[in-house]
Structure 1
Amino acid sequence: MTKVLVVGSINMDLVVGTAKFPRLGETLFGEHFATYPGGKGANQAVAAARLGAQVTMIGRVGDDAFGQQMLATLGAEGIDTRWIGISATAATGIAAITVCDGDNAILVIPGANGELSPAHIAASEAAFADADVVLAQLEVPMAAIEAAAALAAKHGKPFILNPAPAASLPIKLIGQIALFTPNEYELAVAFEGKPADWKALLATLPGKVVMTKGRDGAWFTDAAGVLQHQPSYPVAAVDSTGAGDTFNGAIAAFWDLGLAAAARYACAAGALSVTRPGAQGGMPTRADVDAFLATRDAA
């Protein structure tokens, strides 16, 4: 099994389903409400674990009911939680999510995620030494991400960054990353000043970027800079929350197969994830993805 170390956020998702998104100043009746484990870091960790990776996570939660629930949930997925700290001053992060017709709008309150520091990363160095690949996002402070990239480099481990939420990236950090996994908007923000056309931008970063493009699947360049396309797999969408996180967890879990094969698995896993509600609730297992691909390949 690939050993995946995830550095990132841990949230509780508070999800409201509605027939339409409210306008500014408008009050609507929602159709249903539920809480789901979430946070981009935790989501990607769960996705990788369900796909067969051996996963360890670094992050922070609050000393509260949501924090206890998140630790229990991650542990139940087989994820090593020993490096997840408990804050004495901040609550567990939450995400308020409105879902309508398969689309979503999200407001994140970082809480304890905002306390993750370079010192916490340094205290977890043993986890970097033991990993095969390190996966991170941008829902925790940039200083922690930079520290994680530096430790991954120190131990010769590939560092995958999902640059979400979108942010401009420090030059030094860019040089330490083995693979970026943005959508089109995140790509433009992360590499501001580079070519505006995404195809031209990918060509300047051969083998270092796989860009998700919704229903158009994923695009990337091989080591020679040749543009490659992995088509999406059409499904009946129920809830798109967590689809991108599923994609990223799959890229890390299948890293050892090479980028083309990992992107194929990631697109399939992402497609399956939107067929059920909840960020983690819809995440498939390796058996689910293999069966799905077998059916699509035979069609």
Structure 2
Amino acid sequence: MFSGSIPALITPFRDGAVDEAAFRAFVDWQIGEGSSALVPCGTTGESATMTVEEHNRVIAICVDQAAGRVPVIAGCGSNDTRIALEHMFAAQAAGADAALVVAPYYNKPNQEGVYRHFAHLAERCSLPIILYNVPSRTITDIGVPVIHRLSEEFQTIVGIKDATGNLGRVAAQRLACRADFCQLSGNDETALGFNAMGGKGCISVTANVAPRLCAEFQQATENGDWDGALALQDRLYPLHDALFSDASPGPVKYALTRVRPDMPGDVRLPITWPSESSRAAVDRALEIAGLV
């Protein structure tokens, strides 16, 4: 259902509010540069510091501006199962194509609790679900047996964004799940190996800044052009690294002000503007990538 380069979109803020005009222009740019789908209200979109009204509005804007040109995968995660379901209903009403739902964080449920969280959502809302496994942020892992169980029992659980950094999981999950279960990398720096192991794309941070290069990289892997993909990986790797040289999405927003001067760089606390050393790393990486 989903493949290629899929940016986890930043949310542009100006003077404390969502800058709707800048966001619409950003969506158009992403589609024009070759992004194959869009993810509003993920971690990179600072969903954790949005009100419910802002969250729903940003998804609605994204769907409206995309206008069916590419799918919209709405960030709908919460550590409260009831709130995640409310997010899914709102995203479905807005016209989103799928929900990206992170493992419950902070609560630290056991594996049965993780299973029941996603089962509860799938049983009550028909919007397709992409699981999001990022233990470095959530502490909670979605274990392979749980992924297998969910993929077999619920046809609307269609794939996973895997940000474990463990490439062995790609093979384990591919063997454990139904044939059409889609695996998307959650880490730009390992996306080459991820696709070689059977992945179909990446929900990407770097694609915010370099959408065309990321789309070309994903197309090269799909075509089996591994030499071309490796050359693009080498060109992009310093940027993959620099965008996490300080708390994300600070470096991403700084990079966008260099690439697209019309984009505001405001972040919301507790995220801060990146350090001088981080900005210098981003500047070097943008030059290596040929983006400035």
TM-score range, shorter chain: 0.3 to 0.5
Higher strand share: 1
Higher helix share: 2
TM-score, normalisation: structure 2: 0.39
